Chain A
Amino acid sequence: MSKKKAKDVSRRDMTKLQWTLHLMKQNWIGYVFVLPFMVLFAAFTIIPVIASLFVSLTSYNLIQPPTWVGFANYVQLFLDDDLFIIALKNTLIFAVATGPASYVLSFAVAWFINELPPKARAVITLIFYAPSICSAYTIFQYFFDSDAYGLVNSWLLKLGLINSPILWFRDVRYVMPLCIAISLWMSLGTAFLSFIAGLQGVDKSQYEAAAVDGVTNRWQELWYVTLPNMKNQLMFGAVMSITGAFGFGAVVTQLAGNPSVDYCAYTLSNHLEEYGNVRWEIGYASAISFILFLLCIGSNLLITKMISKVGQ
């Protein structure tokens, strides 16, 4: 900042472009610092995302050169691909069911433990955070085994609620709710930690001031003091939760198999894998991934916009 000010005098003699070039030359070292990372970031994130838009307008199988087909892939996806519609619907259901729930759960638990003594808080943090770092969702195979030895089945049989074991991950009625529940179980991740830190960071004297001003219970405190003070964390947490809610094919594939029975938990990432890694229809697969990109970015921008309006 200070450098910019020091040079402000000479700025009057230059056009905007000249001034920018001057700044670039003067601060070239900044680019050197950023360059190595940016090359990698571009190669593995930016270029793939941008390229998928262009490739999605072609027909391409990696062997012959791509041929331009315009929007044919998109037309086919929406009008002539029933599986895509199923995958889109399931992806949206997963996202809507797990995203907001995991967000609220992360905040609620962080808030619950905020006033505990540090040791207790650390232990409870570990308990709630552990499932997300281990990605040990295969554990649930013990719980929902389809024979009578599966934990849940054996209880239900013993209590006389069912007569024969339920085929949990092979039954259209149970696959989706189970996968949603399991991903919620392991969804208290980065957003959760960010909320814990954010709550701890709220200046204690503000609570005292609020109490003097007539705040009488913890709900009012939450609403008038805590939330407005944590807006940045709430925003970051939202991004983490939404991205997590969309990037969520692995759990399903592992537990329910791919394709899941009657495609009842078939998601866009499954469809993407099918066309990208099995059939090598790269153009078509790119169209799927570009739609997934639009969904992720769109919902993130929408929600962060909404959060930024809170309290204004």
Chain B
Amino acid sequence: MTLITSKRHRGAHDAGPSGWFVAPALVFFVIFAVVPLVGVIALSLANWNGIGAITWAGFANWAKVLVDPVTGNALVVTAKIMVFSYIVQAPISILLGAFVAGKQRYRALLAVFYFIPLLLSSAAVAIAFKALLDPNFGLGAGLGIPALAQDWLGNPDLVLFVVIFVIAWQFVPFHTLIYQGAVRQIPASMYEAARLDGAGTIAQFFHITLPQLKYTIITSSTLMVVGSLTYFDLIFILTAGGPGYSTRLLPLHMYLTGFRSNDMGAAAALGVILVVIGLLLALMLQRLGGKDRSANQTEGA
């Protein structure tokens, strides 16, 4: 079999490295990711308060979770945050990426500051914004503009937009960095040709930069959309899901159900829903991206 596969074969047998090289990674992944994945399905069929005995519950958790209006609300909040934060983040990241890809000195200097949020933990970001958005001792009071001295985190009509803004503040830098790298890989000759044809900056952006970024846009979008299922810590500290249930997105709802209300069975059922959404999204984006991505990977190198 090995003889057939290697064409430039010069006498040595190469069966490829043994599967044992994969074993350590596989063991870790199976024990702490695959087993929990099965476990979350099993626990969704059980009663457990986190400490005591585990008993069979059948589909009681599912019946409870699926009719609970809080679950429906959590799904809506999750979808809103996913869609709005994508609409905000994607254009800003692309524009900033193209901006800092330029060679001007001042842009390089600005970029140094742009990337600072990359270093901060969600906990740090949430705590900083909580203080900054305080109506009495924060931004609004500092600038003396009453419109900015709102109870940003206590107003159910505003809080979702605040959360989306803070998410953008934290995650745009990473995507900017991805786009910066991608824009720099676009051959300069393409821009020269466009300039000779009289294309302005804006025309160059839409006819060269944007089409050339196609695959990067897919990668970045996948990370953004799937990533929005993980904005747990930021929102947990910033609003704890409140006021009321207005920012209680699915992962947070699951955590609070399991570890605050001690209903691990119901939390596991919510976990299953989360897994299914994650898989569906990834599958959908994969379809959207098409199968030519491997071809692009060598081209861009």
* A and B pair up: no
User: Which B residues are closer than 8 A to A by beta carbons?
Assistant: none
